[in-house]
């Protein structure tokens, strides 16, 4: 039986996480590639500038090669990294239980759990704080933000017990989101994007100065609609079932589905929300590379 970390993060994906650096998009746009840096100066990792040596500076900060050339002491000054608080906001409504027929054991929710675990590994490596808020109609599952290996273990356990059911919560049930997530926190929403309540929550968070990233999770069947012959299509949240001929329905479905995706993209763009799309048959780390890789767009 696989241990939980290996079950959530495949070994090949884990090895590629070393190439990624978790960062808020506003910081990337303002300062370029690098970790979220404060205006405090110190012996961080990102080189900023040289300045003259002052009493009390650490000797390890002196650039000895520059001293050999100039006969003067100069200190390498760097941006000091400041902790970021990352919130993983998981849609746990019933539609997230959807999986492809080819991979029945790997649902949207399972992909969301694995992506969340990957983000946690990045945050842990950088000394950031991270927390979890899972949302479904019967309540909110909350793990307050903290840091360190024990926090990672607690989050793994929370993910392990999480199931998808009912609808997305509304109204007062969302109060814990506003009680915990404060301005300038980074919020990563993991959802299929089919519930207007989830999109509206992301918009409200962005409008309230929360840094919001939206990862939409889709099945390969939604992308390709490979059905032929008679088929029953079931909505897990409403319980409604529609029958039809897959081949005859394909063109209209794909047209309407792609139109819905375009409308969602436009809505997230208008709110200033960075967003990527992940299809379940693609490598798990692709959306993370798009967001946090070396060439990620601001």
Tens of pLDDT, residues 160-212:
999 999 999 999 999 999 999 998 899 999 999 999 999 999 999 999 999 99
User: What is the average pLDDT across 106-127?
Assistant: 96
Interacting residues of 187 by C-beta distance below 8 A, sequence separation 6+: 86, 87, 89, 181, 202, 205, 210, 211, 212, 213
Under DSSP, is residue 33 helix (H, G, I), strand (E, B) or coil? coil
Determine the 3-state secondary structure of 31 from DSSP: helix
Evaluate if residue 292 carries a pLDDT over 60. Answer: yes
Q: Say which residue, 143 or 103, is predicted with more confidence.
A: 143
More confident residue, 239 or 247: 247
Residues 4-37, buried b or exposed e (16+ Cβ, 10 A)?
eeeebbeeebbebbeebbbbbbbbbeeeeebbbb
pLDDT tens digits for range 268-287: 999 999 999 999 999 999 99
Residue 49 has what pLDDT? 62
Compute the mean pLDDT over every residue in the chain, rounded to the nearest whole number. 84
Average pLDDT over residues 147-164: 95
Whether the model clears a pTM of 0.85, i.e. scores above it, the answer is no
8 A C-beta contact, residue 243 and residue 249:
no
Rounded CA gap, 39 and 78, in Å?
10
pLDDT grade, residue 104 (50/70/90)? confident
pLDDT in tens, 215-242: 999 999 999 999 888 777 766 766 677 7
Domains, the chain, in order of start with CATH, read 4-27+84-292 (3.40.50.410), 37-81 (no CATH)
289/211 Cα distance (integer angstroms): 18
- The DSSP letter of residue 133 is E
Residue 134 phi/psi, 5-degree rounding, is -105, 135
Work out the average pLDDT over 64-74. Answer: 80
Tell me the CA end-to-end span of the chain in Å, nearest whole number: 41
In the predicted structure, residue 45 carries a pLDDT above the cut 80: no
Q: Are 94 and 236 in contact (CB under 8 A)?
A: yes
Give 34 or 107, the one with higher predicted confidence.
107
- Residue 25 in this model has a pLDDT that exceeds 70: no
pLDDT of res. 58? 63
Alpha carbon of 37 to those of 29, 40, 48, 78, 190: distances in Å? 12, 8, 11, 9, 26
Q: 158 falls in which pLDDT band (50, 70, 90)?
A: very high
Cβ pair 140, 169 in contact under 8 A: yes
Lowest mean pLDDT among 41-50, 58-67, 167-176: 41-50
């Amino acid at each position: 039986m696989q241990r939980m970390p290996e079950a959530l993060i495949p070994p090949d994906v884990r090895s590629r996480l070393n190439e990624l650096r978790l960062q808020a998009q506003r910081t990337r746009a303002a300062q370029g590639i690098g970790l979220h840096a404060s205006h405090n100066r110190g012996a961080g990792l990102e080189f900023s500038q040289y300045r003259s040596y002052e009493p009390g500076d650490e000797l390890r900060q002196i650039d000895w090669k520059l001293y050999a050339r100039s006969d003067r002491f100069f200190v390498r000054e760097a941006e000091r990294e400041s902790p970021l608080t990352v919130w993983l906001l998981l849609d746990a409504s019933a539609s997230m239980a959807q999986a492809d027929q080819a991979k029945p054991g790997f649902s949207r929710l399972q992909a969301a759990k694995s992506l969340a675990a990957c983000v946690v590994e990045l945050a842990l490596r950088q000394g950031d704080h991270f927390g979890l808020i899972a949302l479904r109609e019967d309540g909110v599952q909350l793990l307050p933000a903290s840091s360190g290996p024990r926090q990672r273990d607690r989050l793994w356990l929370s993910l392990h017990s999480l199931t998808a059911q009912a609808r997305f919560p509304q109204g007062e049930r969302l109060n814990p989101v506003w009680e915990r997530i404060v301005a300038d926190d980074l919020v990563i929403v993991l959802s299929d994007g089919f519930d207007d309540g989830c999109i509206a929550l992301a918009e409200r968070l962005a409008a309230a100065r929360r840094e919001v990233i939206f990862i939409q999770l889709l099945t390969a069947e939604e992308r390709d609609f490979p059905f032929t012959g008679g088929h029953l299509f079931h909505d897990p949240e409403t319980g409604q079932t529609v029958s039809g001929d897959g081949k005859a329905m394909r063109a209209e479905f794909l047209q309407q589905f792609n139109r819905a995706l375009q409308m969602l993209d436009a809505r997230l763009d208008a709110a200033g929300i960075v967003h990527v799309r992940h299809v379940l048959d693609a490598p798990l780390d692709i959306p993370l590379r798009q967001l946090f890789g070396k060439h990620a767009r601001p």
